Amino acid sequence: MTDILSKLAALTTKDKNGLLPCAVCGHPNEVDGIKPTIESNRRRVVCTHCGLTTIWCDSADHAIETANTRPRESALIALVQEAPKQIEVLQDSETHFRVAYETSTKEIDRLRGCLGLFASVIKSGEPWTEICQREYDKALNPTEAA
Ligand SMILES: [Zn+2]
C-alpha cells in the first residue's frame, strides 16, 4: 500500500525530462516524437496508460509545458477520496499497537514482580520455601492467583 503522501509526491514530481505524470491517471507521460509530420518537428505528450494527449506543439519543451500545466483535479480528488480509508487503516494500526504496548507493559510488570521476589529471597539469605514458591507463582500468574 502506497500512502497518500507518496502518491501526492509522485503526482507532483517531474521525470528526467521535466515532465509531470498524467494529470488524469497519474501514470508516466511520454513525449511522443515517433510520429512527427514529415516537414515539421512537432511534438506532443501522451500518457502511456490512459492515452491522454496534448495538442501537437512546436517543440518538446512546449509540449511538456502544455502537459505540466493541465489541471490535476481528478488525480488529486482520487487521493482525497482515498484518505478516509487510509485514516481508518492507521487508526486500526494505532489500536493494534496500543494493545500490544499495554500487553507488553503488563508482561514487564509481571517479570519485575518475579525478579523482585527472587531479589528479596536472595537478600534475606533464607532458603527457597513453599511460601516463596507460592509467592513466585502468584507473581508469575497474577490473574490465576487473584
Ligand atoms: Zn493517464
Whole-structure pTM value: 0.51
In a domain, residue 65? The reply is yes
Alpha helices in the chain (DSSP H): 4-11, 60-68, 73-124, 130-140, 142-145
Cα 53 to ligand 1 centroid, rounded to whole Å: 9
pLDDT of residue 92: 94
In a domain, residue 88? The reply is no
pLDDT of residue 123: 92
Specify whether 13 is located in the same domain as 66: yes
pLDDT of residue 33: 47
Number of domains in the chain: 2
Cα 79 to ligand 1 centroid, rounded to whole Å: 15
| Greatest CA separation for the chain | 103
pLDDT of residue 37: 44
Specify whether 65 is located in the same domain as 104: no
| Rounded CA separation 117/72 (Å) | 66
Specify whether 67 is located in the same domain as 100: no
| Rounded CA separation 90/60 (Å) | 42
Count the neighbouring beta carbons within 10 Å of the beta carbon of residue 118: 14
| Rounded CA separation 106/104 (Å) | 5
- What b/e string do you get for 131-146 counting C-beta neighbours within 10 Å, with b at 16 or more? ebeebbeebeeeeeee
Cα 71 to ligand 1 centroid, rounded to whole Å: 13
In a domain, residue 77? The reply is no
Specify whether 111 is located in the same domain as 52: no
Beta bridge pairs of residue 30: 46
pLDDT surpassing 90 at residue 143: no
Specify whether 63 is located in the same domain as 100: no
Q: Check: CB of residue 56 under 8 Å from CB of residue 78.
A: no
Cα 52 to ligand 1 centroid, rounded to whole Å: 5
| Rounded CA separation 66/29 (Å) | 12
In a domain, residue 85? The reply is no
pLDDT of residue 103: 92
Specify whether 67 is located in the same domain as 109: no
Specify whether 60 is located in the same domain as 118: no
**39-95 pLDDT, tens per residue?**
567 888 888 888 888 898 888 889 899 999 988 877 778 888 888 888 899 999 999
In a domain, residue 82? The reply is no
In a domain, residue 32? The reply is yes
**1-52 pLDDT, tens per residue?**
568 888 888 888 898 889 898 888 888 877 764 444 445 678 888 888 888 8
In a domain, residue 84? The reply is no
Q: Which of 26, 41, 71 is the last residue of a domain?
A: 71
Expressed as residue numbers, the domain containing 115 is 93-145
pLDDT of residue 91: 93
Q: How much is the average pLDDT of 105-131?
A: 89
In a domain, residue 37? The reply is yes
